[in-house]
Structure 1
Amino acid sequence: MDIHGALKKYFGFSQFKGLQEQVILSLLSGNNTFAIMPTGGGKSICYQLPALMQEGTAIVVSPLIALMKNQVDAIRGISSEHGVAHVLNSSLNRGDVNTVKADIESGITKLLYVAPESLTKEEYVDFLKNQKISFVAIDEAHCISEWGHDFRPEYRNLRNIISKIDDVPIIGLTATATPKVQEDILKTLGMSDATTFKASFNRPNLFYDVRPKTDDVNKDIIRFVRQYQGKSGVIYCLSRKKVEEIAQVLQVNGIKAVPYHAGLDAKTRAKHQDMFLMEDVDVVVATIAFGMGIDKPDVRFVIHHDIPKSLESYYQETGRAGRDDGEGYCLAYYSYKDIEKLEKFMAGKPVAEQEVGHALLQEVVGYAETSMSRRKYLLHYFGEEFDEVNGLGADMDDNVRNPKKKHEAQEDVQLLIEIILLTKEKYKPKEVVNTIVGKSNAMLQSHKTHEQPFFGKGKSKDKKYWMALLRQVLVVNLIRKEIEQYGVVKVTDKGKDFLKNPYSFMMSEDHVYNLENDDSIVTNSKGSGVSTDEKLMAMLKDLRKKVGKSRGVPPFAVFQDPSLEDMTLKYPISIEELSNVHGVGEGKAKKFGKDFIALIEKYVEENEILRPDDLVVKSTGENSSLKLFIIQNTDRKIPLHDIAKSKGLDFIELIMEMQRIVFMGTKLNIDYHIDDILDEDQQEEIYDYFMEAETDHIEAAMTEFDGDYDDEELRLMRIKFISDVAN
């Protein structure tokens, strides 16, 4: 039977998808084969069909028990023989194992799914040695590489085990692999001769959007999900605690959502997964434990509440959206703080592992902060060229729809390439940038780079600028990262030509993500249909200035910018509605609110504006109990560090919480703490600064005092100031 007949007979399809046919023919001809196909590209048929067509049993190595079970059930569904496919893993008892062995011996079993751990059992290896094996398939082959996003040490030894069983062709399959990971897989499996098939990684129907992560992230998520009422979506979080919290907030706000993480018992997990598949709920909030075995074609959005550890993970997770080629919106929230948190997690690991982890994380930072086409950036990471003008899906990301400013950077690119060559192409991006801005470290000193005449030649611009430029130069292939010594930057032939005949290089200016939570503005990209009313914003700012003047306080002490922003979205026209605005509590609404709601009411009437009445986001009671706890304990003059400890907060988290309380209009007396850390003159100096300042941004205060006070001291003084003058 030819392969088209077999495809029709077993799977009912009349034609192959993408590269399937070529991969299958390669394997049937007895070649070692390597297939890289994005999620949803139909990888499993590439080994299922040849296994069903050939004599003997194919061994399929897979890391996930749930996934094996799904596939075995699917294959049994298309065959009259129950034993056509079996699982061999730790979930079987003695009797089950004997049944499996009998079916293999009698030639009934075509596909045997095994976990890599099972293959280390001598009993199984000895048994399989004496059977007719057609080939070995290694699914999720990226697990072999420590540069992959899901490294499993037990995968490293597969080559030795396979050679003990039989000399048969091997097929490796993966849904994501950078050039570095591909090379690693082939080397470790000892099949550098493999015929490699690589499908395009471009998913033109997915829209990529990255937004700054602010205190208002939950509100933003609710607004976003409400636009997709009745449609399916997945929200990824890093911690179980966050998963539970977000699922709860969604439920409280009338969205059908369930949590999914490894801390739930198997029964609950299975139930939640089924509810999602059967559409009894719309949204699953999950850690990455979810979705490996999920094949729901109509997921309409994937939200990353926390940015993942690598671009492979990000690609894999966003890839769960729009598998039916319909709409798929991929929204990620980014703040550099999250990256720092991930770096802290790595601290205890072996140095080699840390290096890999840091390198992968920096790629994520590059993607999140870039202002060029995100699709081009992502595809370049996977070793694929993309034409950002005519390519499929070229306008499907926030950067392309809202282009950032560009400027001519030809001379800077020349300097960058020259420095890489002058330092003998032996540095990673960080060292290259340190050389340009003239910041010495042990690495540079050991090569005496800090003594060279070119050291610090580009110090008129900061590190961030040069790092952004380096990333953009990398994507257009004037420089490349060496695969063998991962991360070391080399100049390509194209880059050397650029030095000889330079041409215009328009550099996009990177996003500046303001990390000050309380000062950050909730911006929404075009895609979300929510943006501020600029005209009203200007009127509110004028009024704020006036009110501040009449009360003898700076404007920011009346209402913060994010509060004004929120007023332009919600148009509050009563004191009660005003107290639901971001950063405005009851106290503040009563104290300053009268003029503001009068202005907004008049504005709404004159411009015939329809007010959204559903933007009051209910919160789960946790915050209010914490607020009360802090107020009561500061009244009792309990040391702040003790308050933080008893609630399991970092000190900076407590400060953020206190900021929120005073910005909402409640008084907090923390003089007892401040008196311990700053003397009277110091307090007076900072107090006077805030009184005169245009803005209460901490960065501005840090610059003003030029290192005399640290971040914590200034924040605590700002809390005292706002509490005294505005509340």
Structure 2
Amino acid sequence: MSDARVTLAPVTDVLPAPAATSAALEVLHRVFGFESFRGRQGEVVDAVIAGGDAVVLMPTGAGKSVCFQIPALVRRGTGLVVSPLIALMHDQVDALRAVGVRAEFLNSTQSISERQEVERALLAGEVDLVYIAPERLSNDAVRGLLDRVAAGPGLSVFAIDEAHCVSQWGHDFRPDYLALADLVGRWPGVPTMALTATATDATHKELTSRLHLENAKHVVASFDRPNIQYRIVPKDDPKQQLLKLIQDEHKGDAGIVYALSRNAVEQTAAWLAARGVDAIPYHAGLDARIRAANQSRFLRDDGVVVVATIAFGMGIDKPDVRFVAHIDVPKSVEGYYQETGRAGRDGLPATAWLAYGLQDVVQQRRFIDQSVGDAAHKRKQTANLESMLALCETVGCRRRQLLAYFDQPTDHDCGNCDTCLVPVETWDGSVAAQKLLSTIVRLQRERNQRFGAGQIVDILRGKRTPRVEQHQHDELSVFGVGADISERGWRSVLRQLIAQGVVQVADDYGTLGLGALGPAVLKGEHPVRLRHDLERSSSGAGSKRAAPVAADLDESSHELFEKLRAWRAGQAKEQGVPAYVVFGDATLRALATERPQDRAALSGISGIGAAKLERYGDDVLSILAA
């Protein structure tokens, strides 16, 4: 790919703010093909170019990478980027090389000769950006190499990506990240950046403290992702619900499906594949070669759906993921936000879909009880889960609740989540709750017994199952008092009562007891309002769905868009790179609608910088003119 590279001479070492802005904008346009910075990118870039440290919290898709890439290209020397996922470094470097940046990586997958060549290029000042895995930076030889680079060609910026990994409050703590604190300040005059796509206030404070960045510029952008439609549906038959979502709304789209267990991942991927979906599994237990091949297929091919555990996804740069689905409830809002944020990084419409049921609540509560760790750790896990359950059960705007969790309250509803598109009806569930609680209490007091959801629902509905008759539960005074509510309805009631703390999972076997609010509800001192979610669509927001990427293009523009996609796929396959490395969907849309007829007009299309104009200009103009 060397023919696509252009030499990017650094503009200067340190510039005052106005000059920095000018230099940064010039590089932004020439290299990446963008006319202006988005959101608060420019603010960060100027501060770092001027030599300052920065802590950057921006949502996935907001362009965090630009915040360290531009300063690295403007300032003298090589930008050092710490990235936790070795498997993705190759694609990150390919994407930079495609726009003419001299990018390299150093990690354990390289041969000795490959590492030596990168080290030689670093010492010769022939590298603009180098990506390094955090564990490599604990190596004295690597630190010594970087010391020599700093003393020679120079280090332009020290960027720690996915910086929430340094925090034990974060959802993806990694011990290797703690050692990075030793490197902050090791190279005087080199600005340090910590960047993450998700962090609560506690995570933000801890990573700031651990990395000694109290005096840095702190930029916390809005965590709102308005192009993502959030939908949480009652779990009925999750695989069928998922298939309906894909077939009705995302046929041929790239997507990520998250499941809790490795077994569920493999079963779901095979089940979808048998029904015509190009689905592949990904989890840590797969053979490393299969795992790498599946990840590569997802990144490089169009329309692949990967079914995965949370081992998959951090740092995924694929911008055209059109949906992220969860068939099990995540453990925290922070994890949910990070995972759903992998959808729609290109700013085009995307769906975040979650199927959520009673067993999810029972299972997650049980996981916490069984987890290793002290009482404080379990309280933290419980608080995380309760925030997630509150998001699932809310009758208000989901986006408002999500933003409030990240201390970014808003006073208006979003209009693009399921509860906004199809408002939720509520009902007074106080009497139903009292019936259920009475059943739990009578089993304990009169029979000294605890049971799980199935037996309690059978008793309430007056269902004489073999187990009910075996224990003579049909003789209880509460037998049949809830016959007016269906089994599905009672499971919905019970799920919500557990989420609200009225009922609790009492032991490892999933038996139920009264929660903290249970006694007050029984006495009529605490009213209970419940969602009426039984009639809601199994896939979510009815007919009000996220619009397909090319939905608003007229017939000829849509046809041109598909021709450009086909050409892009051929280019990507020929080069062995992901399709988005050639051009993103947003750039193809702009080409299909604006139809530039010469190179000057082509250079004005967002996403087409100097290197891509030189490499692809003639091909694209030929397609547009046909």
| TM-score greater than 0.5 by the shorter chain | yes
- Native 8 Å contact 2:455 2:468 kept in 1: no
- C-alpha deviation, 1:38, in angstroms: 1.0
Is contact 1:259-1:285 (8 Å) kept?
yes
Corresponding residue of 2:372: 349
Secondary structure of the structure 1 residue equivalent to 2:185: helix
Offset at residue 170 of structure 1 (A):
0.7
1:399 corresponds to 2:399: no
Contact 2:397-2:419 at 8 Å conserved across structures:
yes
- Provide the secondary structure at the position in 1 that maps to 2:355: strand
CA-to-aligned-CA distance 1:65-96 (integer Å, 9 cap, x gap)? 1222222222233338xxx3332222234333
> What letter matches 1:249 in structure 2?
W
Superposed displacement of residue 30, structure 1: 0.8
Matches of residues 426-441 of structure 1 in structure 2 within 5 Å? none
TM-fit CA distance, 1:518? 12
Instruction: Supply the distance in 1 between the matched residues of 2:215 and 2:78 (Cα, whole angstroms).
Output: 24
Please tell me whether the aligned partners of residues 37 and 174 of structure 1 are also in contact (alpha carbons under 8 angstroms).
yes
- Corresponding residue of 1:379: 403
State the secondary structure of the residue aligned to 1:333: strand
For 1:278 and 1:48, the matched residues in 2 are separated by 23
State the Cα distance separating 1:28 from its structure 2 match.
0.6
Deviations 1:483-533 (A, max 9, x none): xxxxxxxxxxxxxxxxxxxxxxxxxxxxxxx9769989xxxxxxxxxxxxx
CA contact under 8 A between 1:144 and 1:185: conserved in structure 2? Answer: yes
Q: 1:102 to 1:379 in 2, by over 3 A?
A: same
The share of aligned pairs that are identical, in percent, is 39
Relative to structure 1, the CA distance from residue 244 to residue 517 in structure 2 (aligned partners, 3 Å threshold; closer, same or farther) is farther
- Counterpart in 1 of 2:207? 185
Residue identity in the other structure for 1:399 = T
Decide which of 359, 370, 378 is 2:383's aligned counterpart: 359
Question: How far apart, in 2, do the equivalents of 1:693 and 1:135 lie?
Answer: 67
Assess, with a 3 A threshold, how the Cα gap between structure 1 residues 683 and 262 changes in structure 2: closer, same or farther. Answer: closer
Identify if the C-alpha distance between structure 1 residues 517 and 167 changes in structure 2 by more than 3 Å, giving closer, same or farther: farther
1:369 aligns to 2:369 (yes or no): no
SS in 1 for 2:218: strand
Runs of 4+ in 1 over 4 A off after TM superposition: 277-282, 405-408, 514-520, 554-557, 686-701, 710-714
For the 8 Å contact 2:41–2:66, the answer to whether it is kept is: yes
Question: Map of 1:673-712 to 2, 5 A cutoff?
Answer: 678=471, 682=472, 685=475
1:8 lines up with 2:56 in the alignment: no
Q: 1:120 aligns with which of 121, 129, 138?
A: 138
Tell me what 1:45 maps to.
66
Q: Is the 8 A contact 2:298 2:305 kept in 1?
A: yes
Shift of 1:142: 0.8
Pick from 245, 270, 291: which aligns with 1:269? 291
Measured after TM superposition, the shift of residue 320 of structure 1 is 2.0
2:269 pairs, out of 242, 247, 253, with 247
Which residue does the alignment assign to 2:518? none
The one-letter amino acid of 1:113's match is: Y
Measured in 1, the distance between the counterparts of 2:359 and 2:312 equals 24
Structure 2 gaps, min length 5: 1-10, 12-22, 438-451, 495-506, 513-626
Q: Does the alignment pair 1:86 with 2:107?
A: no
Partners of 1:302 and 1:329 within 8 A in 2: yes
Structure 1 distance, partners of 2:490, 2:162, is: 49
**TM-fit CA distance, 1:254:** 3.1
Structure of greater Rg: 1
Measure how far apart 1:696 and its partner are.
Answer: 7.8
CA change 1:36–1:687 in 2 (3 A) is: closer
Q: CA deviation at 1:306?
A: 0.6
| C-alpha displacement of 1:191 | 1.2
Superposed, 1:165-564 pairs within 5 Å as: 165-166=187-188, 168-214=190-236, 216-228=237-249, 229-277=251-299, 279=301, 281-346=303-368, 347-351=370-374, 352-389=376-413, 394-404=414-424
Please state if 1:73 is matched with 2:97. no
Q: Which amino acid aligns with 2:373?
A: P
Distance change in 2, residues 1:75/1:404 (3 Å): closer
Q: Does 1:57 align with 2:81?
A: no
Secondary structure of 2:346's counterpart equals coil
Report what 1:543 is aligned to. Answer: none
Q: Distance in 2 between matches of 1:285 and 1:692?
A: 39
Equivalent residue pairs, number: 450
* Cα distance between partner residues in 2 of 1:225 and 1:687: 47
Distance 1:160 1:68 in 2: 23
- d(CA) in 1 for partners of 2:426, 2:360: 28
CA distance in 2, matches of 1:273, 1:121: 28
Where relative contact order (Cα < 8 A, 6+ residues apart) is larger, the structure is 2
C-alpha offsets along residues 120-140 of structure 1, whole Å, 9 cap, x if unaligned? 112222332233322210101
- SS of corresponding position for 1:403: coil
The yes-or-no answer on 1:147 pairing with 2:147 is: no
Counterpart residue identity of residue 52, structure 2:
N
Letter in 2 for 1:75: L
Letter in 1 for 2:93: V
Contact 2:231 2:353 in 1 (8 A): yes
Distance 1:388 1:166, change over 3 A: same
1:17 to 2:38 alignment: yes
Q: What is the match of residue 542 of structure 1?
A: none
TM-score, normalising length from structure 1? 0.56
Q: Compute the displacement of 1:3 (Å).
A: 1.5
SS at match of 1:325: coil
What SS is found at the alignment partner of 2:184? helix
